[in-house]
Amino acid sequence: MNLLNLDENTREAFSKMVQTLIQKHKIQPVDIFMNVLESQEAPEMNYWMTKVLVQEHFVSAQKEIAKDEADESVKPLQAACLLQNVGMVAALLELNAFTGGMADKDFQLAARISSKHEDEALMGLLMRYAQELGNLEIMMKALQNSPIQ
């Protein structure tokens, strides 16, 4: 699945970039991941950097990265939605970086965040992902029936 329809041939350049950051500049993969999360760069860069870090350098795409004010766990998918990082959201969806299904907490929280921000690009990605898995109706019903928290 390639939600952004990006050219697979461009991945190699990002793989080399990450390798250089790790080997030459001694930056830890998890630190690069956090920088990508906060990045305002082009979606393509954030997408490939996320994929490379998770698939080649084993950064956890589901590890808690913070706690919210209610002391709930914040995972990369929710944080990327909050920061409106379309590239990272697409990569994390493709990597199944959430627990449960379309109607469960992790995915629904990402959908509610995107909906609350009225971010059409992010909502479009979430809907396309759900549609490709045959779960768009499930996602939309769950979103409609759950309050924004």
The answer to whether residue 2 sits within a structural domain is no
pLDDT digits (tens, 9 = 90+) for 36-69: 999 999 999 999 999 999 999 999 999 999 998 8
Number of domains in the chain: 1
Q: 56: Cβ–Cβ under 8 A, 6 or more apart, which residues?
A: 15, 18
How much of the chain is helix, strand and coil, in % rounded to 5?
60, 5, 35
The answer to whether residue 137 sits within a structural domain is yes
Domain that includes residue 117, residue range: 8-145
The answer to whether residue 1 sits within a structural domain is no
CATH number of the domain encompassing residue 29? 1.25.40
The answer to whether residue 69 sits within a structural domain is yes
Instruction: Give CA–CA dist 148/108, Å, rounded.
Output: 10
This prediction has a pTM of 0.93
The answer to whether residue 56 sits within a structural domain is yes
pLDDT value of residue 94: 97
What are the phi and psi torsion angles at 7 (to 5°)?
Answer: -70, 120
The answer to whether residue 46 sits within a structural domain is yes
